[in-house]
Amino acid sequence: DSGVTQTPKHLITATGQRVTLRCSPRSGDLSVYWYQQSLDQGLQFLIHYYNGEERAKGNILERFSAQQFPDLHSELNLSSLELGDSALYFCASSVALGRPNTGELFFGEGSRLTVL
């Protein structure tokens, strides 16, 4: 168990809809990352938050947005969903105060999104 919790585990929705994926990082971790994993694209970096602030953006579509709250949990919002958005969405956390920054990311088990 990595200590990172993602909900929901599975989500089925229709095109044009909006969903919110939630991530609770490991206790004390300040960084949260979102990745999208699809069969043909591998793990694609979407966005990184550190202690509530956006730090880096990857290949994140304008229809997608994220935020990290004061309690450090994070949400990824996906809107105007398309068939191609069907994928596994992973959250990862790292960098806890008082712990060495080894560069390791701790991944949750992912949220599987199916858009019909």
Q: Which residues in this chain contact other proteins in the complex, by CB under 8 A?
A: 2, 4, 31, 33, 35, 41-45, 48, 55-56, 90, 92, 94-95, 101-105, 107-110
Cβ–Cβ under 8 Å, residues 32 and 68: yes
Closest by Cα among 83, 92, 84, 75 to 19: 75
Residue partners of 19: CB distance under 8 A and separation at least 6: 11, 13, 77, 78, 81, 113
For 4, the token pair is 């990172």
> Is the peptide bond prior to 8 cis by the omega test (within 30 degrees of 0)?
yes
Which of 35/64 has CB closer to other proteins? 35
* Shortest distance (Å) from residue 23 CB to other proteins: 11
Which of 14/101 has CB closer to other proteins? 101
* Shortest distance (Å) from residue 110 CB to other proteins: 6
* Shortest distance (Å) from residue 109 CB to other proteins: 5
Which of 76/95 has CB closer to other proteins? 95
Which of 14/103 has CB closer to other proteins? 103
- Compute φ and ψ for 37, nearest 5 degrees: -125, 115
* Shortest distance (Å) from residue 49 CB to other proteins: 11
